[in-house]
Amino acid sequence: MTHLSIKALRHYHDVGLLEPAEVDRWSGYRRYDTTQVAVAQVIRRFRDLEMPVDEVRAVLTAPDGDRRNQIIAAHLERMEEQLEQTRTTVASLRRVLEARSSTVPIDYRSVPAITALAIRSTVTVSEFERWWVGAFQELHAALAAGSLRRGGPDGALYPGDFFELECAEVVAYVPLDGSGSGAPRPGRTELIEVPGADLAVLLHSGALEDMDQTYGTLGIHVVERGLGVDGPIREQYLVSPLDVEDPGDYRTEICWPIAGRTADPGD
């Protein structure tokens, strides 16, 4: 009647999602009520939509319709996001397979230490995008409201751990013109010093999903010259999602801090 498998019914019993109306004390036989048919059918649809069992339980035990609809809407929204993600990945894959090798020049820069208005947080890769938007919106608002003046493009610091362990303390910042001391620091913002460094810089033009390509080009370049990494990777957002709609117009500088080394033979 429900088109659920026996194994699924047993599992739903084990995890308490759909308890049989009666379980025989001696044989262990599960008996269900006819009223449970409708419940089972709803469960099946949510599971077909890959809603986690815990959430299905939450839907079924929701105290009221509002709460119930809220959980459902949240799940549908997540599915939409995932679909959007898939679309961008397909587009990115297509670009990679077409393999237009760009020949943007790699640039070397020595930058001095600067003061910046910053927000720092420990974030995972999965929650990163949302965090990024929120952090820069807050920084821009703080800048607009206060007496501080921008001294350069938006930037961020990513320790190597962030890409490798998928979780690390990341810093989003806006460089300031001057020391910025004495000004109020609202919300999560704080004043920090971004240290000076020698940077190998490569401009990435286009969607952020393709950025690993540029990372690859820059990384290979640096590795082949036997240059070590010295501190967190920096990104500078010359044209970002906050500025324009079309991802094709984004401009991001990837800055690889290098430690000059005596040249290695090979490796």
The contact set with DNA (CB under 7 A) reads 5-8, 10-12, 15, 24, 26-30, 47, 52-54, 160-161, 164-166
Can residue 73 be called a binding residue for a second copy (CB under 8 A)? no
Q: Helix (H, G, I), strand (E, B), or coil: what is residue 193?
A: strand
Question: Scanning residues 18 to 47, which ones bind a second copy (CB under 8 A)?
Answer: 34, 37-38, 41-42, 44-46
CB of 144 to DNA, least distance (A): 37
Q: Which tokens is 74 given?
A: 């949240």
Which residues touch 78 (CB under 8 Å, ≥6 apart)?
A: none
CB of 28 to a second copy, least distance (A): 17
Helix (H) or strand (E) holding 17: none
- Look at residues 180, 165, 73 and name the one whose alpha carbon lies nearest to residue 116: 180
Helix (H) or strand (E) holding 146: none
Can residue 259 be called a binding residue for a second copy (CB under 8 A)? no
Question: d(Cα 33, Cα 106) in Å, to the nearest integer?
Answer: 70
Question: Scanning residues 79 to 98, which ones bind a second copy (CB under 8 A)?
Answer: 79, 83, 85-86, 89-90, 92-93, 96-97
CB of 61 to DNA, least distance (A): 15
Q: Helix (H, G, I), strand (E, B), or coil: what is residue 162?
A: helix
List the beta strands (DSSP E) in 90-143. 107-111, 114-124
The answer to whether residues 260 and 227 touch, using CB atoms and an 8 Å cutoff, is yes
Q: Which of 81, 166, 190, 243 binds a second copy (CB under 8 A)?
A: 166
Question: d(Cα 227, Cα 122) in Å, to the nearest integer?
Answer: 28
Can residue 144 be called a binding residue for a second copy (CB under 8 A)? no
- Closest CB to a second copy among residues 98, 245: 98
Q: Which of 134, 146, 219, 241 binds a second copy (CB under 8 A)?
A: 219
CB of 3 to a second copy, least distance (A): 5
Which residues touch 207 (CB under 8 Å, ≥6 apart)?
A: 88, 91, 92, 247, 248, 250
Using CB distances below 5 to 8 A depending on partner kind, what does residue 160 bind out of a second copy, DNA, none?
DNA
Which residues here bind a second copy, judged by CB under 8 A? Answer: 1-3, 5-6, 34, 37-38, 41-42, 44-46, 48-49, 76, 79, 83, 85-86, 89-90, 92-93, 96-97, 163-166, 212-213, 215-216, 218-220, 223-224
